Amino acid sequence: MEDKPILHVSQVGINFGGLKAVDGFNLKLYPGELIGLIGPNGAGKTTVFNLLTGVYTPTEGEIMLNGERINGLAPFKVTRKGISRTFQNVRLFNEQSVLDNVKVAYHSLARHSIISSIFRLRNHFIGEQEMEAKAIDLLKIFQLDKVKDEKAKNLPYGGQRRLEIARALAAGPELLLLDEPAAGMNPQETNDLMELISFIREQFNLTILLIEHDMKLVMGICERISVLDHGLLIAEGTPDEVRNHPKVIEAYLGEEVISNHA
């Protein structure tokens, strides 16, 4: 593990009216790590993703990406800085083809790149043909190249979830945030997804933060896990440490028992 974290979140919080949805949240992610973020419903997990990606601005604390403060940057700027995400409920352009769903991610980068190049920033314009070739290469990895001309809405659910990850990768992230990628998948699809996540981590040199309710998936592939409950970080550690943590057991009481799944 390298010494410098790619992401360093310190004491981050946000209020919605009277509700502290996230309070004093801390997280360090090191390059190449695959870390899980778990917690009961309403614990604040998606809110953390929204804070990290500029959807919400923290009311307190600091989010540092590669040593640079990114609190409250517009979401497209956060993407350009190297953070991509998927959503809890799949968000695709349903009427567009599978291929266009990925190409649109390259297009949005390219549009910013033109502006960037005028101001001599680092992004470069990617030509249309190059974009298409890159998109098809990505679709191959996700076994979606054969259905590239299908409308996204016609893909089976597992395919739509994979397409969302492919689109997130098109933005060329260093850090990928996956919000319940296995939601609604059957056990076979979930297993395939676990392998796919491990594969893309290696292939694309990614650091991955994963929200997931499927404990088998989380415990099976994550090196470390952070646990939120009512907006507070109640535990962090290896899957074994977290599974046996009294506060975690208490938080999950009445839900599925974590230890049964691992």
Q: Which of 6, 9, 12, 21 binds ligand ATP (CB under 6 A)?
A: 21
Asked if residue 31 binds ligand ATP (CB under 6 A), the reply is no
Closest to ligand ATP by CB, 98 vs 177, is 177
CA distances from 193 to 8, 173, 197, 230, 254 (A): 27, 19, 6, 29, 28
Closest to ligand ATP by CB, 16 vs 125, is 16
Kindly identify the residues of this chain, within the stretch 131-190, that bind ligand ATP according to CB under 6 A. Answer: none
Closest to ligand ATP by CB, 35 vs 139, is 35
Asked if residue 233 binds ligand ATP (CB under 6 A), the reply is no
DSSP secondary structure letter of residue 226: E
Asked if residue 237 binds ligand ATP (CB under 6 A), the reply is no
Query: At its nearest, how many Å lie between ligand ATP and the CB of residue 46?
Result: 3
3-state SS, one letter per residue, for 141-183: HCCCHHHCCCEHHHCCHHHHHHHHHHHHHHCCCCEEEEECCCC
User: For ligand ATP, which stretch binds (CB under 6 A), given 4-12, 39-47, 200-208, 218-226?
Assistant: 39-47
* CB-based contacts of 84, cutoff 8 Å, min separation 6: 168, 169, 171, 173, 175, 176, 177
Asked if residue 110 binds ligand ATP (CB under 6 A), the reply is no
User: For ligand ATP, which stretch binds (CB under 6 A), given 16-24, 92-100, 140-148, 245-253?
Assistant: 16-24
Query: At its nearest, how many Å lie between ligand ATP and the CB of residue 225?
Result: 14
Please give the Cα distance from 195 to 100 (Å, whole number): 25
- The contact mask relative to ligand ATP for 67-106 (x = CB under 6 A, - = no) is ---------------------x------------------
Query: At its nearest, how many Å lie between ligand ATP and the CB of residue 27?
Result: 14
Residue pair 239/225 in contact (Cβ under 8 Å)? The answer is: yes
Asked if residue 45 binds ligand ATP (CB under 6 A), the reply is yes
DSSP secondary structure letter of residue 63: E
Q: Which of 193, 250, 201 minimizes the C-alpha distance to 227? A: 250
Type of residue at 169: L
* CB-based contacts of 128, cutoff 8 Å, min separation 6: none
Residue pair 109/118 in contact (Cβ under 8 Å)? The answer is: no
Asked if residue 42 binds ligand ATP (CB under 6 A), the reply is yes
Q: Which residues make up the interface to ligand ATP (CB under 6 A)? A: 16, 19, 21, 39, 41-47, 88
